[in-house]
Chains A and B, each alone.
Chain A
Amino acid sequence: MEIRPILSSLRRHRIPAVLIVLEIALACAVLGNAVFMIGQRMASIHWSNGIDEAGISVITVNGTDPALAASGIPRDLAALRGIAGVTAVAAVTSMPLDQNPALTGFTTTPDGKTTVNTSVYFLGSGGEQALGLHLLQGRFFNADEYADSGLKDFQSTGHVLLVTQSDAQRLWPGQGALGKTLYANGKSWTVVGVVSDVLAQDPKFSGPGGRYSSVFYPSRPDSMMGDYVLHSAPQDRDRVVREAVQALGRLEPGAVVEGETYAQMRTDYFADTSSMVWMLVLVCVVMLAVTAFGIVGLTSFWVGQRRRQIGIRRAVGATRSHILQYFQTENLLLSTAGVVLGMVLAFGINLYLMQRYEVARMPWYYLPVSAVALWLLGQLAVLGPALRAAQVPPVVATRSV
């Protein structure tokens, strides 16, 4: 296929050619960034969490008399254990993704400085089993540690804690974390176990560094423990929540008792991200449709402008498929120029967004993805007009000047 005739023809019809290149380039740039934003948000919705999310329900109790916590909590736990289907239950101060951050900065030396705020969780006896934490190294807390530890001013009075895998690697790279000491605000604790990564109470507030930075302490029953974690089979969760709210409502008549499954808590946390994803998908689809219409409209007009040339070519011996190939090749050249320009634009837009809006750098494989999509769109859009052009009869050449 001779390229030179196509190029010289394009040089004479600059405006439509430039318009098609720009349409494809702009659509490619916007699509690339939109798809990247969709990818980022889908990734955040699927952040892994080192607890048994499918089996947990959470009951929050607010407004109990703090002085009665030492006796009230064990009584409530006994009542909750009695519910059919509940395999484990414990009292805790907060849950991952409950949007009430309780953060402390921990260091490995008494005078160190940290830039990561760690989410702090206090677990009542049996908390590790109720949450379904995965132990990677070391051990969970034993009964003595639960009995000896409390919390005062949101600091543990005990001597032990559990850290997550990410923190173990960040704080003591290359060494084991077991037996090491963590310091905060003049106190210190020893690491007895490492668990797989658990999300922070508010990962978006804590930022990327604090997302999986979590620390677990053991504690006696304390008035700060406003959450009861119940572990059951997934199919029993709704019934367990209902019965638990009723049971606690009877036992704590002056308090506000609310219950939901952990899966619902997670969905609520990411609800705004999900709606943003849907909106981005809608914008991408509509934009591709509008671009397709624009290209089809312009190309069918432009092909119509060149009826006489097509007729002359057919009259001197070109076949229908030659004409079709000509227009497909011409469109290929324009689409290629368009996607190259579009990839450059997409990269440039991403750099700008990185500076102004803390967007991450777009990985290189998003550029070819949007390029291929627009290239295919361009080729399909020209198919209709090109087929119509191929139907032009040779006799057109003999008409008029």
Chain B
Amino acid sequence: MFGYYLDLAWRSLRRTPILTGLMVLAIGLGIGASMTMITVLHVMDADPLPGRSALLYTPHLDPLPLKFNGFSVGHDASDHLTWPDAVALLNAHRAQRQAAMAGGDLLMRPEAVDLRPFYVNGRYTTSDFFAMFGVRFEHGSSWRAADDMAGAHVVVLADSLARKLFGNVDAIGKMVRLGENDLRVAGVTADWYPSPLFYADDRAKRYSDHDQFFLPLSTAVDLNFDVDGSVDRWGKTLNVDMRSATTTWLQFWVQLDTPTQAAAYKHFLIDYSAQQKSLGRFQRPASNARLYSLMGWLAHENLVPSDVRLQLWLALGFLFVCMLNIVALLLAKFLRRSGEISVRRALGARQRDIFVQFGIESAAIGVIGGVLGVLIAEFGLWSVRHRPDDYAHVARMDVSMLLATLVLAVAASVMAGLLPAWRACRVAPALQLKTL
């Protein structure tokens, strides 16, 4: 019977091309708009390091004074660590791997005479960064752990930057001029674009920034390099030393392999906070200390701007309006064929057979509308990619979203067809047959 119903559906759709066209258009537009925003949300919520993200955590301490004067919409100064806290956590060695980091934006003066000076984004960090996040080295290696706090003048470049400066020549051992200082290249990493840039601070462009150089944190502080990111200071008089205990600017990430280790690390953070409180440094309760998993941290940071969520709701509202109008059009379409329905009923079809017939017709419209919806969603994503927003360029459709589009289209049109199909199968056959 399924093939017969498909045949009936196809004939009926061909008989009223305008009405069919309108319904397909309505489904396509509603589904296309919704899937555009759902895909954007899906991509923005994606895991930046699948496979490793379950092992990575970031500690959160609360060194702020009880009456903290700093306030900006959505920015929490305690999201970052002070230098003494970061050094204490590093020295405690309570995790498999650990790294403290902060962003930098430095002026690079290439030796090549045909290249003008330019600014590059990078990270000041400690040596465990590369192993912990699985950053692959093309040549050389990172600096040694001993160099972390010793202020060695070394730098690790990303492949694209090394090529820009030195062409195809091996960059290991060469000197680069960053700011006013010369640093020796110790390693070259493969280009790495985690999306979102989960380890950066909240001022970074999480979906379009990526780091092109890495150098030891202590070197950056010794040489007074500018920090590209949130720096919050408090106190009666401002202390601008980056090593001060009243300036938060560092991010900290650890690798903990088992949940028991994670629980133990959280206890360590609370103990550390209690100890700092008894020493008079921390003023807020020790229980404010927290340990976030990578995905939990991204959720806390609320990377998806409320604009995008509003657009999603708008698209879903638009889909709902389209579905309601399709219910109206399907009702008109099905009830116009009361004569045909009553002939079928007279020949022995039960009410549920009529219901199934019209359900399949709705699904057929859904399939055609779904194909149109995929095309409209592709167009919608193309227009999102041309927006000036930070997340724009990652808006791309993948296989799971494509299948979701078709499934959503068929589901929406079958749901829209439920009421009209039910009304159609309740048509009294005798009355209709008389007026044929």
Contact = CB atoms under 8 A, between A and B. Distances in A.
Interface of A: 15-16, 19-20, 22-23, 26-27, 29-30, 33-34, 37, 62-63, 65, 101, 103, 105, 113-117, 153, 155, 185-186, 204-207, 210, 254-256, 268, 271-272, 275-276, 279-280, 283, 286-287, 290-291, 293-295, 297-298, 300-302, 304-305, 353, 357-359, 400-401
B388 interface: yes
Contacts of A271: 388
Contacts of A115: 71
B119 A256 contact: yes
B22 interface: yes
Smallest CB-CB A-B distances: 8 pairs: A294-B325, A301-B332, A207-B73, A298-B328, A63-B107, A271-B388, A153-B240, A105-B69
Given A206-B72, A256-B117, A290-B325, A353 B19 contact: no
Given A30-B321, A113-B69, A401 B435 contact: yes
B80 interface: no
Given A34-B314, A113-B67, A294 B117 contact: no
Given A185-B235, A301-B335, 19 more contacts: A19-B328, A30-B317, A34-B314, A103-B72, A105-B69, A117-B71, A186-B237, A254-B117, A256-B117, A276-B307, A279-B311, A287-B321, A290-B322, A293-B22, A293-B325, A297-B19, A298-B328, A301-B331, A357-B306
Given A275-B387, A276-B307, A293-B26, A15 B325 contact: no
Q: For chain B, give the interface size range.
A: 35 or more
Given A155-B238, A358-B306, A283 B117 contact: no
Contacts of A207: 72-73
B350 interface: no
Interface centre among A22, A33, A279 (most CB of B within 10 A): A279
Contacts of B93: none
A137 to B, nearest CB: 28
A33 B316 CA distance: 13
A271 B388 CA distance: 6
Contact of A287 (B118, B310, B318): B318
Contacts of B318: 30, 283, 286-287
Contacts of B235: 185
B423 interface: yes
A211 to B, nearest CB: 11
Contacts of B349: none
A185 B320 contact: no
Chain A interface, >50% SS class: helix
B434 interface: yes
Contacts of A255: 107, 117
- Residue of A254, A294, A301 with highest tally of chain B CB at under 10 A: A294
B215 interface: no
A279 to B, nearest CB: 7
B121 to A, nearest CB: 14
A389 B320 CA distance: 30
A111 B77 CA distance: 21
B9 interface: no
Interface in B302-335: 306-307, 309-311, 313-315, 317-318, 320-322, 324-329, 331-332, 335
Contact of B388 (A103, A272, A400): A272
B116 interface: yes
A359 B75 CA distance: 18
Given A15-B419, A114-B69, A290 B26 contact: yes
A298 B328 CA distance: 6
Given A272-B388, A297-B19, A62 B328 contact: no
A294 B324 contact: yes
13 contacts: A23-B324, A63-B107, A103-B70, A113-B67, A117-B70, A254-B109, A272-B307, A272-B389, A291-B325, A293-B26, A294-B329, A301-B332, A304-B336
Contacts of A272: 307, 387-389
Contacts of B335: 301, 305
A210 B70 CA distance: 12
Contacts of B71: 105, 114-117
A64 to B, nearest CB: 10
B332 A297 contact: yes
B341 interface: no
Contacts of B25: 290
B239 to A, nearest CB: 9
Nearest to B435: A400
A256 B310 contact: no
A113 B234 CA distance: 13
A360 B113 CA distance: 55
B314 A19 contact: no
